[in-house]
């Protein structure tokens, strides 16, 4: 495992250097963590893509691309994610490792300088983001939101989360809504940018064979010019399932109905039982040998797909399936029956062993990708300690039958969401 020592480099700013000699490139990422709030989601979500396009030193994409070409073809990236009930705004740069640069050039330092230019010195006009830039990125963000609506599997998952977690931050879209994006103004977005730099919990991470002293000094100097305040880092709200299951059916022009079951569990970080819950989810519906895949999909042909996913930060488990509308009741009953079988220990030692091997393999393959490895450690920022993929694989190997059964017994149905064709209105 790499030597992971997270250290504070400013008020609410942590630096995480991940030493790794496997890749010929380095990765530098700055992530701003903000509480996920309905009224602020859209204005925050537009920031990463807006900041990654231009800055005062490189006021258009042509100039910026020329600079990236000079840095051995460095590549910028941006992302809007969710970690628990936090909205995560990330901007980063992938660059050639200093070991391979000519004339002892410090590519990493130059890339850190460029990233600081983008984050702290954007192209402004009358102390606001330029109207044309904001309108361009509003169109891009609108397309992202609409793409999740067009993809009915993603849409159904999101709607189930919104219904199940109504009134909770977890139920808020990390992108906001199309209407909120349309209403954004340059002044509003500029204020959101300044507020984020002052109030967000900041994670600065490097991955690769990178000498970080100069990089850290540059980041410290940049953030010192902000009026940093102690950031708010709310823990996810773990909510028990209600006494009555919520059932919602909606109609859209779809050929294949989508059935999503939302469950609450009592297991979330930093519980010691999180790994058991992850293995249980894989046995339930996370692998090609899982209960849902083999029985609901293959044996009974009740679904086109049927899979389970578990969010260890929130303790929420979803089962997503694509079905023929007449099979809704049968599919739902069979999904719940397979869950009951897990609660009663009706699975073989061979099935559990195969599931654990699959989980371990999924962990170990994370290290094959530099971005995957970076995301792996970023997702553990609020955990008690960091685990390498290999350590997580070893932890999965220690999960017992009794722990899987105990984890399954915490799973309680909260919400049933059905997306069906418009003919169902008749």
Residue count of the chain, please give it: 426
Question: Ramachandran region of residue 103, left (φ > 0), alpha (ψ -120 to 50) or beta?
Answer: left
Q: In which order are the strands placed within the sheet that holds 316-323? A: 246-251, 412-420, 257-264, 316-323, 305-311
Specify the pLDDT at position 6: 82
Specify the pLDDT at position 245: 96
Specify the pLDDT at position 2: 55
Same fold, 7-225 and 246-421: yes
| DSSP collapsed to 3 states, the chain | CCCCCCEEEECCEEEEEEECCCCCEEEEEEEEEEECCCCCHHHHHCHHHHHCCCCCCCCCHHHHHHHHHHCCCCEEEEEEEEECCEEEEEEEEEEECHHHCHHHCCHHHHHHHHHHHHHHCCCEECCEECHHHHHHHHHHHHHHHHHHHHCHHHHHHHHHHHHHCCCCHHHCCCCCCHHHHHCCCHHHHHHHHHHHHHHCEEEEEEEECCCCHHHHHHHHHHHHCCCCCCCCCCCCCCCCCCCCCEEEEEECCCCCEEEEEEEECCCCCCCCCHHHHHHHHHHHHCCCCCHHHHHHHHHCCCCCEEEEEEECCCCEEEEEEEECHHHHHHHHHHHHHHHHHHHCCCCCHHHHHHHHHHHHHHHHHHHHCHHHHHHHHHCCCCCCCCCCHHHHHHHHHCCCHHHHHHHHHCCEEEEEEEEECHHHHC
Specify the pLDDT at position 210: 85
Which CATH code, of 3.30.470.20, 3.40.50.300, 3.30.830.10, 3.20.20.140, is assigned to 246-421? 3.30.830.10
User: Where do the domains of the chain lie?
Assistant: 7-225, 246-421
Specify the pLDDT at position 424: 60
Specify the pLDDT at position 388: 92
Q: What is the mean pLDDT of each run of 10 residues along the chain (426 residues)?
A: 74 90 93 96 98 96 96 96 95 93 87 96 96 97 96 96 95 97 98 96 92 87 89 78 91 94 94 96 96 96 96 96 96 98 97 97 94 92 88 97 98 97 68
Specify the pLDDT at position 181: 98
CATH of domain 7-225: 3.30.830.10
Question: Strands 412-420, 257-264: parallel, antiparallel or unpaired by DSSP?
Answer: antiparallel
- CB proximity list for 423: less than 8 A, separation 6 or greater: none
Q: Using alpha carbons, list the distances in angstroms from residue 127 to 42, 87, 121, 213, 364.
A: 21, 26, 11, 32, 47
The answer to whether 26 and 206 have CB atoms below 8 angstroms apart is yes
Token digits of residue 335? 């999904």
Q: Using alpha carbons, list the distances in angstroms from residue 288 to 45, 112, 191, 315, 333.
A: 35, 43, 48, 23, 21
Specify the pLDDT at position 1: 52
Specify the pLDDT at position 347: 97
Task: Give the Cα-Cα-Cα angle 303, 304, 308 (nearest 5 degrees).
Answer: 70
Specify the pLDDT at position 240: 83
């Amino acid at each position: 495992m790499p030597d992971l020592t997270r250290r504070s480099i400013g008020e609410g700013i942590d630096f995480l250097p991940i030493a790794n000699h496997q890749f010929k490139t380095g990765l530098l990422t700055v992530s701003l963590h903000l509480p996920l709030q309905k009224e602020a989601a859209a204005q925050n979500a537009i920031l990463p893509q807006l900041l990654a396009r231009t800055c005062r030193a490189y006021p258009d994409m042509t100039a910026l691309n020329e600079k990236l070409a000079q840095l051995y073809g460095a590549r910028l990236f941006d992302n809007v994610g969710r970690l628990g009930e936090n909205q995560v705004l990330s901007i980063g740069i992938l660059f050639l490792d200093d070991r391979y640069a000519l004339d002892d050039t410090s590519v990493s330092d130059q890339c850190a300088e460029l990233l600081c230019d983008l984050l702290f010195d954007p192209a402004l006009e009358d102390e606001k983001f330029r109207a044309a830039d904001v309108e361009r990125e509003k169109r891009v963000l609108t397309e992202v939101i609409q793409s999740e609506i067009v993809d009915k599997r993603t849409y159904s998952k999101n709607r189930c989360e919104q219904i199940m977690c109504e009134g909770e931050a977890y139920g808020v879209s990390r992108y906001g809504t199309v209407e909120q994006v349309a209403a954004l103004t340059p002044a509003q977005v500029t204020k959101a940018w300044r507020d984020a730099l002052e109030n967000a919990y900041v994670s600065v991470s490097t991955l690769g064979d990178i000498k970080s002293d100069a990089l850290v000094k540059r980041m410290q100097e940049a953030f010192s010019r902000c009026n940093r305040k102690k950031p708010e880092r709310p823990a996810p709200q773990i909510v028990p399932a209600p006494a009555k299951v919520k059932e919602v059916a909606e109609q859209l022009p779809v050929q294949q109905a989508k059935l999503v079951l939302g469950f609450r569990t009592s297991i979330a970080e930093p519980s010691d039982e999180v790994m058991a819950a992850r293995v249980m989810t894989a046995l339930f519906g996370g692998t090609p040998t899982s209960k849902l895949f083999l029985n609901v999909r293959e044996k009974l042909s009740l679904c086109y797909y049927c899979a389970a996913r578990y969010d260890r930060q929130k303790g929420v488990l979803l089962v997503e399936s694509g079905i023929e509308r007449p099979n809704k009741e049968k599919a739902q009953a069979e999904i719940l029956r397979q869950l009951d079988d897990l609660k009663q220990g009706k699975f073989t030692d061979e099935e559990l062993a195969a599931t654990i091997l699959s989980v371990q393999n999924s962990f170990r393959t994370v290290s094959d990708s530099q971005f995957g490895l970076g995301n792996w450690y970023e997702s553990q920022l609020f955990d008690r300690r960091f685990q390498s993929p290999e350590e997580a694989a070893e932890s999965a190997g220690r999960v017992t039958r009794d722990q899987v059964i105990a984890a399954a017994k915490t799973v309680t149905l909260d919400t049933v969401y059905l997306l069906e064709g418009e003919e169902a209105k008749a």
